[in-house]
Structure 1
Amino acid sequence: MGGIGKTTLAQLVYNDSRVDNRFDLKAWVCVSEDFKMEEITKSILRSVSSESSNAGDYLNKLQTELKKKLVEKKLPLILEDFWHQNYDDWSRLISPFGVGTTTVVTTRDKTVSSMVGTIPDYKLPTLSDDDCISILTQHALGAKDFSGHPNLGEFVVQIAKRCKGLPLAAKTIGGLLRNKVDIGKWEEILKSEIWNLPEERSNIFPALRLSSHHLPADLKRCFAYCAILPKDYEFTEEEIVLLWMAEGFLRVEATKQNEDLGHEYFQELVQRSFFEISNKDESRYMMHDLINDLAQSVAKDICFRVEDDKALNVSSHARHSSYIGGRKDRIKKFQVFYGKKGLRTFLPLKMPEGWRYISNQVLSELLPEFKYLRVFSLQGCYLTEFPNIIGDLVHLRYLNFSYTQIKTLPNSMCKLYNLETLLLRGCSRLEEFPSEMRFLINLRHLDIRGSDSIKMMPMGIGELTNLQTLTNFVVSQDNGRQIREMENLSNLKGGLVISELQNVVKAQDAWVAGLCYKSNLRDLALEWSYNFTGEEIHKDVLDSLQPPKMLERLTIECYGGETFPNWFGDPSFEKLSILDLCYCPNCTLLPAVGRLPSLKSLLIQRMSKVKNVGANFFGKDLSINAFPSLERLRFQDLPESEEWDPCEVDENVRSFQHLHELIISNCPKLLGSLPNRLPSLKKLKINLCQQLRSLPGCLPSLEELVIQECEQLVVSLSSLPKLSDLEINGCQEVASTSCANSGSFIERVSLSDISKFTSPMEGMMLGLTKAERLYIRGCEELISSWQNQEGPSTHLRPIRFLEIHNCSRLVSIGAEDEKEEYMQLGIPCHIEHLSIHCCERLERLAESLHSYRSLTVLRIEGCPRLISISNGNLPPNVRRLTIKECENLQYLLDGVNNNINSTPLLKHLVIENCKSLISLSSRAELPIRLQHVDIYGCEKLTSLSSNGKLPVGLKYLDIRRCRALESIAQEIEENCSLESIIICSCDNLRSLPRESNKLRYLSLSRCEKLHALPNCIHNIVSMRELFIFDCPSVTSFPEEGFPANLTSVTMWQPNICKSVIECGLHKLTCLKHLSINGASLDVVSFPCEEMLLPRTLTSLTIFGFPNLETLSSKGFQNLKFLESLEIRSCPGIKFLPEKEMFDSLLQLDIVDCPLLRERCKEDEGQEWPQIAHIPCILIANLLPEGTPRNQNHSRIVSEASEWCLHRSTQSGLQKQMERPEKEECCLLS
């Protein structure tokens, strides 16, 4: 049931602080009815990593990347509004997740619940009438009940009952009756006939329909317009208000600006619960699915959405449309727009990552029909030129070309006299505006954020007096006089950047701009160039640019003056809350900003001549509390700063009383003294302050302390009673007196390169009663303090994650009976993750380690003396074992009495760069539950196990750069579970055993002595992907042919291409992706007569055909589903098939084909008409010009090396990821 509160409950779980403490990462993804596995995976990736992904839309590469991000991490994943019922898709979606992932799924579908659940689902009950009354009165009367309005009691009770226990219904009815205390209005709602309308007839719950029925007409029209927004789409208030304004939905009032009226409308819909704040971004909003359905019901046939290639029956009366674009959209997707000459809104939404490509026909054929367009957007489309036809759409009020590649705007655009909004965000190549832009007299919003190549503002910009939004004013090099044009822009509001101020040569020009009179500005940035000149007038210019008193944020960047003007820091700027001063290299004194009454955040950065932070900084009157509201203070990159004088001369005068966060970074000469009394400080981070000797003495509220590379600093933990997160890397001394005052709240500890621990350090360690994470690097004194019989098992009991680096005395993990000259590491009894790095004397794992039953992840890296690991010494419940850079390790599992059950739960084994490794197991079989094995760079490895067998449960085997490996197994049992095999650069591998019947993916590359593929490969009906590259001894494909169900084939082995063709590719009725190297084929036309291609192909790559001249129309005529074609290194090719053969094509790449490149030049080449309709075309030449033809051919194979491996990941040719055996999954249905 919708609207019952599944998402709300999931939000409570997701935002609970206990979840933050227990997990490393977290992710929330709204799935909805449009199930796209690639988009869902990308959304999860974005949630768990700040780095941008280069995996494109290729699922296998995305999942590989995601799996790497989740190694040894715990993740709560919320999958909201799940409808998809395909079990194979579900299995594929969750394959990158391991045992550390807990998944919560919200769904209305019982089938989904039974498909994904591993524990009983939680079915939310409807609310009681009392709960509905509470929600209703909260939204309607702002109270928990109706006791303040007893006369409404009967109506409240009856209406609450009609909400039938649905919180969404109670919220929306409450919003409808907000602040209504008149009995008549409540009675009208209660007696409305809409309650009696059958839900199955209206498809909308009566309470929701009732709430829209009573909307004022103007507000209802605005709400109905939102039917063009796809479900789960997140939007900003500004985005929606500008669209409403462009469509004329905002009633013109003499006393109000349209934008202000739009703000009121928007907030009214928020108050009525039609819009909800996004759970992922508080600055954005979204509509509940049922509210979205309601908007479509209200809009009727006036609005429509184009999603995927779904067939639509659109009324000729339709006026407003959006389309949910993909990466590449052919003209077919836009067929529904033909004939819709009355269309007023054309809006692409849900922009994918990267560029969006659409067919040129969309612009050339469709746009001329849309004579009445008011809203038009091509945001995110790969366009290099502004379509001239735009100038004919004279009704346009909203134009969005953000994130395109346009370089200039044509003068024809200046005929759009009605244009109100022009959005050009992120147009990185845009350099100039049209010369006649001053004629756009109705322009109110010009957004050029991120368009950093613009050299100057349009001539006559001062005539655009209606401008309210101007995100950046670029001062021209024409003596900077253009800044005078700002004088008439008196309506500017919101944020403004004035850049290239070094071009102002007369301060008077800046004064004429009249910034101080632009009272609606809230955010102002004043920027000079980094290589500025004329610094002698910088102060005068800054003085002349005094901002309005109501400013809330001010940024000064690259200012060359020695001091700041008098207005700086004046208490009359009573709203200023954020101040950033970045790169002021000539300033010797900090400005007096201590008296700004509302200042909450202050950044001082890259001021290389400032030596002291003193009285001037606090303000003239030291008898008044300085920085009364400051919460965040950052000093960064002050190389000459030596002293901070806190000016604490009067005990009754307290500065920084509300400071929550203090960051001091890269102040190498700073000695002290920091403010001593910071009662509210919660986060203190100091790094690269090599001379600093002490911290503030009184920090009663400190929760997070980070110290990095402060070599002289002595850190005392005794007076930090609330510390929960401690990180110290490189300091002189750490002192602690007892556990009574330190450690009792600490949850995470990281200690690195500390010269001295003041006794008794055991006291602090004993006090770590809540710490779950401990990271220690090079602190042997601390580690040695554990080495007593009761040590770590007792006073480090709560530690779950332990990581130790660079402990040179450590010889053993786990305590042993005999005394050792060197150290033995006793570890906490409840440890779950243990990582040991770069401990050069580590030789063994002690037998006692086997008793640690909580340990599930063990990682050992860079320990050169480790020779073997006794299978019996491994913890019994370890699930992931990683060994890297242990150069003398010979046997990973040195079995005793063939005890293979000592590690019964081991599933994932990773071995990397262990150069002496001979075999994974010397006398024993591999662990029986092993599922995933990755082995890289083990040059002496000859076999995986001594008995030549693989575990029956093994699913994924990835072996690379093991040049001595002779075989992966002597035989593979019939019930083997192997699904994916990747073997790369194993020069001595000669043969493969009979493959598993469950194999889905096989990749063989650079195996010089491999002489044949398995003879029974054609019987593997489960196989989907086959990749072969640079295996020169494989000269033919088995006569029996291909596995019948292959979906992807990459053949980069020229020797066998002919036999591959003879096998009959057309027999592969499931094949979608084909990539083939034709260096050994002497064909002029492709495909040749004897080579028929399967009609199911969606992607085709041909490479290195030395004599190829043409692509055969006959060979392509049946490829009705072909979407991507790449032709590479075919120097003689000149001709393409007829245009009709490419109707389905979305992408065409022509690389290193010089003759064809000339014939495909845009608007000039003979072949251009054949391909002009294709949305994405890449024509490139990577080989040097003039490369001789024979030399070109000699490079074909060598050139293919890295490229084809890269391309294989892009083509979806990656290993399938493991499905966790026991993934936790909770259902909210």
Structure 2
Amino acid sequence: MAEIGYGIAVKVLELLGSVTIDELSSAWGVRSDLTKLERTVEAIKAVLLDAEEKQAGDRRLRIWLGELKDVLQDAENVLDEFQYRILQKEVMKRQGNTSEKVSNLLSSFNPLAVRFEMAHKIKGIRKRVDEIAAEKDNFHLAQGLVDRKLNRQEWRDMTHSFVDPQNVIGRDDAKENIIHLLMKQNENSSRNVDVVPITGIGGLGKTTIAKLVYSDGQVVGHFQLRMWVCASDDFNVIRLIKEILKSAIHQIDENFVVDGLPNSLKELLKDNKILENLGVDEVQCLLRELLKDKKFLLVLDDVWNENQSKWMELENLLLSGCNGSKILVTTRNNSVATIMGTAPTYHLDGLSQEDCLSLFVKLAFKEGEEKHYPNLLKIGNDIVKKCKGVPLAVRTLASLLYSKVDERKWKSVRDNEIWHLEQNEGDILPALRLSYNRLPFHLKQCFAYCSLFPKDYEFNSSLLVQFWMAHGLLQSPNNEQLEDIGDLYIKELMSRSLFQDAYKDVFFSYSFKMHDLVHDLASSIAKGECSVVTKTSTLAAGVCHLSILESGQEVTTQLEKLSKVQTIIFTTKQPVSLLEACIARFKYLRVLNLSNSSFEVLPSSIGSLKHLRYLDVTENGKIKQLSDSICKLHSLQTLLLAGCSNLERLPKGIRDIISLRHLIITTKHTCLSEKAVGCLDSLRFLFICECENLKCLFEGMEGRLTNLRTLVVVKCPSLTSLSLNIKHLTALENLVIEDCEELSLTDKEENQDLKLSLQLLKIVELPKLEVLPQWLQASANTLQHLEIRDCGNFTALPEWLPHLKSLQTLRIINCPRFSSLLGGDARSHCTKRISD
């Protein structure tokens, strides 16, 4: 993954050019060395793009790039430590310490020993970089190639290449045939429940067709209950039972009478988190109760399991449904279909050349544009032939060429040597690899890092952007917000069909997945850089990013061989001893994911991770406190504490995490005040959820949170006041308040002369809300979207509503006491959408 070297070179140059580095380098007497280092790295960066293009066929060049990456990583770590020292200095200033104490801190930077150590490190790195730079001429690399940058105008031009899952070409017959199999009563079978398999190679669209069938009106009306579960690689019966129950709770049809459910299932409807704590016997009984005497459809998507006993264990629990119930299975493996199927298997073939070309034209051209480019259409026909009828390949290459009219680019795709690589029947990786090769280098890194997450993982765009940010992958040449840059990257990867099944959630993020073959591509690219750790895995010595699937001595032994790890994702619960060992060994960690862990207290040693940017402790129901040492993580940008229901308090010094931009918290605090959260001036996103004791927010925090753009408050039943001091939240764009039964949003003393910039306000399940707050008028020129839902006492819209000049969407949903829309003049002025 040679582009890593290019990316690190960019980061090193950004660090070398920063004002803070310049300030400290003068104090430590290393400015000359850093200036020389900057010139050398700049010269190397100039040829790295060409090196990436040529390294596949040159072993010596690959070795050179590996050595370069190592030394640039060392340079980045040293420069990052410089940045940390500056942040320490800023913390001391913000704490209001005396000038004498600040002077003492600064003097600690300048002892002879410290200066000598840092100067020695810098000189050593500069020498190594000089030696590597001297070798670059041996490879005859071209200078001056420029990485293609993304811009917002380009994104606007590309939006039409999004692929709607419902927009399927050439599959009408397949859909109708599968529906017929599901509706058909098998008279020769004594079974209540039949299993219908769909087979075919990856990328044919098995899942897409299953979705079309699942949501078809005939099918919806035929089955009382429908459930969808992705089986994927992990055919764990208990996990699958829980997923089936979750899907049923989420997907209950209107004709399924909730009042007739047993009490045990009613409790699940209230809170499906109860499932996670249930034992084997309990979930099995619940599943039988759910399916008893009901005609159901269950889709088991992407099944790989060939262990018949595992299938029989699950199947036995599914046979209590009514006669005519069906299980629809999608799989690439014919032996899986043989094991599971009781009805004829539907073998999905590739699309015809004609249908493939229709799909390609639809996605590669703007509507009607193909008529003006007959030569491109002819080249496109040749490209489509190479895709061998696989829609994913067609879609990927069409997205790559969308709105491009240069024949040379089209011929380059058609004639690329990658098509000549040996491949198995139906293999579409060459098509995907082509799409990857044409990504800008920064997007290549972002895409490859996604391989750390398991197949069928549902990504959240907001958190993925924070993950990329932690590794310095987001480039902001025009000083745009990094979150906005990351959102642009997400949309670019979606537009190229490298992300799929995308939808926008209620909290301003996209959720999406990667197709299995796209995940395989990312894994092949990131090999040697990103690794999944099991008891039997073999790790490359230079691996930097780990997803740890298992625990035990075998795993610990593998980790002892590594030294430069920057990412650790624990996907299973781990002993605190392994966590402590990782903290002690891997001092350059940028990302540490401990979600779903069961630590009662984080080790105090965590405060030694000076480089840490991203810490996830989500859904740890046992943790009671965070070590105060966490406040030493001055570089931390993302802190995730959702679902930490027993967390008694946030550390008193959390204000010292001055780089924090993204905070999600669940806590037992009664008030988030200045003392509790301090002056988090860098905060952009704040999500407060399931805080049962919380009564007020931001008390005494005048002049704080001035960069906060999004605030979400959910399930805080004791909250009586936001105490926003809202006039200080001048950057706030999105505000969501949901399920806070004691909150009315009406301040006793309405603020005057406010300067707000809200763009979206969403109010859900606030029984005490009667009217809109007066302070909303301060966003008259910016508010675009207003939604009020499930507010039983909301009565009327205010007379000043027409003053909201930028309002585009107004939704009022399920508010039974709402009786007044607007007066005559106001109604004619406001032509927005209102839903009852």
Common topology (TM > 0.5): yes
CA contact (8 A) 1:195 1:210 kept: no
- Residues 10 and 400 of structure 1: CA distance in aligned 2, closer, same or farther (over 3 Å): same
Deviations 1:283-336 (A, max 9, x none): 521111111110011112111123xx55101111111111346xxx55555543
CA contact (8 A) 1:467 1:491 kept: yes
1:618 matches 2:821: yes
Runs of 5+ unmatched residues, structure 1: 350-355, 634-1229
Query: In the TM superposition, what are the counterparts of 1:399-438 in structure 2 within 5 Å?
Result: 399-404=615-620, 405-438=622-655
Deviations 1:494-515 (A, max 9, x none): 23449888679xxxx8557423
Q: 2:482 aligns with which of 245, 258, 261?
A: 258
Equivalent position of 2:316 in the other structure? 95
- Residues 173 and 560 of structure 1: CA distance in aligned 2, closer, same or farther (over 3 Å): closer
* Distance in 2 separating the partners of 1:453 and 1:464: 17
Q: Secondary structure at the match of 2:528?
A: coil
Q: Secondary structure at the match of 1:538?
A: coil
Query: In the TM superposition, what are the counterparts of 1:476-875 in structure 2 within 5 Å?
Result: 483=699, 485=701, 487-497=703-713, 511=725, 513-515=727-729, 517-518=730-731, 520-525=732-737, 530=742, 538-541=747-750, 548-554=757-763, 557=766, 565=774, 574-580=783-789, 582=791, 591-592=798-799, 595=802, 598-602=808-812, 617-621=820-824, 624-625=827-828, 628-633=831-836
Q: Secondary structure at the match of 1:45?
A: helix
Q: 1:45 aligns with which of 227, 241, 245?
A: 245
Following superposition, the deviation at residue 583 of structure 1 comes to: 7.9
Following superposition, the deviation at residue 32 of structure 1 comes to: 2.1
Query: In the TM superposition, what are the counterparts of 1:862-941 in structure 2 within 5 Å?
Result: none
User: Residue type matched to 2:656 in 1?
Assistant: F
Following superposition, the deviation at residue 271 of structure 1 comes to: 0.8
CA contact (8 A) 2:671 2:694 kept: no
Equivalent position of 1:468 in the other structure? 684
Deviations 1:1125-1144 (A, max 9, x none): xxxxxxxxxxxxxxxxxxxx
Query: In the TM superposition, what are the counterparts of 1:92-171 in structure 2 within 5 Å?
Result: 92-98=313-319, 99-143=323-367, 146-171=370-395
- Residues 454 and 151 of structure 1: CA distance in aligned 2, closer, same or farther (over 3 Å): farther
- Residues 524 and 33 of structure 1: CA distance in aligned 2, closer, same or farther (over 3 Å): closer
Equivalent position of 1:23 in the other structure? 223
Q: Secondary structure at the match of 2:639?
A: strand
* Distance in 2 separating the partners of 1:588 and 1:208: 55
Deviations 1:940-995 (A, max 9, x none): xxxxxxxxxxxxxxxxxxxxxxxxxxxxxxxxxxxxxxxxxxxxxxxxxxxxxxxx
1:342 matches 2:564: yes
* Distance in 2 separating the partners of 1:333 and 1:543: 61
Equivalent position of 2:209 in the other structure? 9
* Distance in 2 separating the partners of 1:163 and 1:273: 15
Following superposition, the deviation at residue 178 of structure 1 comes to: 2.2
CA contact (8 A) 1:234 1:286 kept: yes
Equivalent position of 1:76 in the other structure? 297
- Residues 530 and 544 of structure 1: CA distance in aligned 2, closer, same or farther (over 3 Å): farther
- Residues 522 and 272 of structure 1: CA distance in aligned 2, closer, same or farther (over 3 Å): same
Equivalent position of 2:129 in the other structure? none
Deviations 1:9-59 (A, max 9, x none): 111111212211111111122222332222222211211235235585755
Q: Highest Rg: 1 or 2?
A: 1
Deviates more, 1:194-203 or 1:91-100: 194-203
User: Residue type matched to 2:594 in 1?
Assistant: L
Say how many residue pairs are matched: 602
CA contact (8 A) 1:484 1:512 kept: no
1:317 matches 2:538: no
Q: Secondary structure at the match of 2:434?
A: helix
CA RMSD of aligned residues (A): 3.8
User: Residue type matched to 1:198 in 2?
Assistant: E
- Residues 253 and 320 of structure 1: CA distance in aligned 2, closer, same or farther (over 3 Å): same
CA contact (8 A) 1:319 1:342 kept: yes
Following superposition, the deviation at residue 182 of structure 1 comes to: 0.8
User: Residue type matched to 2:664 in 1?
Assistant: D
* Distance in 2 separating the partners of 1:223 and 1:482: 38
User: Residue type matched to 2:811 in 1?
Assistant: S
* Distance in 1 separating the partners of 2:341 and 2:584: 52
Equivalent position of 1:299 in the other structure? 526
- Residues 342 and 442 of structure 1: CA distance in aligned 2, closer, same or farther (over 3 Å): same
* Distance in 2 separating the partners of 1:72 and 1:593: 55
Q: Secondary structure at the match of 1:146?
A: helix
Equivalent position of 1:833 in the other structure? none
Following superposition, the deviation at residue 442 of structure 1 comes to: 1.3
Deviations 1:794-848 (A, max 9, x none): xxxxxxxxxxxxxxxxxxxxxxxxxxxxxxxxxxxxxxxxxxxxxxxxxxxxxxx
**TM-score, with normalisation over the residues of structure 2?**
0.65
Query: In the TM superposition, what are the counterparts of 1:46-61 in structure 2 within 5 Å?
Result: 46-49=246-249, 51=268, 52=272, 54=275, 58-61=279-282
CA contact (8 A) 1:303 1:319 kept: yes
User: Residue type matched to 2:451 in 1?
Assistant: A
Q: Secondary structure at the match of 1:465?
A: coil
Q: 1:288 aligns with which of 482, 505, 515?
A: 515
- Residues 369 and 162 of structure 1: CA distance in aligned 2, closer, same or farther (over 3 Å): same
Q: Secondary structure at the match of 1:226?
A: helix
* Distance in 2 separating the partners of 1:188 and 1:581: 55
Following superposition, the deviation at residue 593 of structure 1 comes to: 7.5
CA contact (8 A) 1:275 1:286 kept: yes
CA contact (8 A) 1:394 1:418 kept: yes
CA contact (8 A) 1:330 1:359 kept: no
* Distance in 1 separating the partners of 2:826 and 2:467: 53
Q: Secondary structure at the match of 1:65?
A: helix
**TM-score, with normalisation over the residues of structure 1?**
0.45
- Residues 358 and 348 of structure 1: CA distance in aligned 2, closer, same or farther (over 3 Å): closer
Q: Secondary structure at the match of 2:827?
A: coil
* Distance in 2 separating the partners of 1:409 and 1:128: 59
- Residues 143 and 305 of structure 1: CA distance in aligned 2, closer, same or farther (over 3 Å): farther
More relative contact order, 1 or 2 (CA 8 Å, 6+ apart) = 2
Deviations 1:515-568 (A, max 9, x none): 3x22x4222439998499xx9x93314668885352342469576999953856
* Distance in 2 separating the partners of 1:88 and 1:473: 42
Percent of aligned pairs with the same amino acid: 32
Equivalent position of 1:987 in the other structure? none
Q: Secondary structure at the match of 2:349?
A: coil
Runs of 5+ unmatched residues, structure 2: 1-200, 251-267
CA contact (8 A) 1:618 1:626 kept: no
* Distance in 2 separating the partners of 1:102 and 1:237: 35
Which of the pair is proportionally richer in helix? 2
Deviates more, 1:184-193 or 1:553-562: 553-562
CA contact (8 A) 1:347 1:377 kept: yes
User: Residue type matched to 1:298 in 2?
Assistant: I
Q: 1:388 aligns with which of 570, 590, 604?
A: 604
Which of the pair is proportionally richer in strand? 1
* Distance in 2 separating the partners of 1:54 and 1:5: 32
Q: 2:588 aligns with which of 372, 394, 402?
A: 372
Equivalent position of 1:271 in the other structure? 495
- Residues 200 and 562 of structure 1: CA distance in aligned 2, closer, same or farther (over 3 Å): closer
- Residues 154 and 9 of structure 1: CA distance in aligned 2, closer, same or farther (over 3 Å): same
* Distance in 2 separating the partners of 1:265 and 1:48: 34
* Distance in 1 separating the partners of 2:499 and 2:218: 29
User: Residue type matched to 2:512 in 1?
Assistant: Y
